[in-house]
Amino acid sequence: MSRPTTTTPRRVIFQYLVPVHVEVEDGLVCRVTVIDETPVRDPAVVEGDASDLAEAVAAADDGQPWPSWRFGY
C-alpha cells in the first residue's frame, strides 16, 4: 500500500506592463480599462519562488482570450 503524496501549493505573483486606457473627466480619473490580452513580457516576481516563474508565466499566458477589465463608472 502506497502513501498518498502531499503537495504544497505553489503561489507565484508576478507583474508586467500592459496597455491601460485612462479616461479623465473634469480633472478626475473616471474610468480605467486594462487591456490584458497583451502577451507576458519581462515579468518580475513580486512574491513566491522565482524558480517557479517560468511555469507561472506559461500558465497565465497560454493563448486564451482575455477580456479587458474596466474600473469606474
**CA 14/CA 56 separation, integer angstroms:** 8
User: pLDDT, tens digit, for every residue of 6-36?
Assistant: 677 888 988 988 888 899 999 999 999 887 7
Averaged pLDDT, 47-58: 92
Is the pTM higher than 0.75? The answer reads no
Residue 37 binned pLDDT confidence (cut-offs 50, 70, 90): confident
Looking at per-residue confidence, does 38 or 51 come out higher? 51
Grid cell of 1 as nine digits: 500500500
42: left (phi over 0), alpha (psi -120 to 50) or beta: left
- Distant-in-sequence, close-in-space partners of 68: CB < 8 Å, separation ≥ 6: 33, 34, 35, 36, 37
pLDDT at position 35: 79
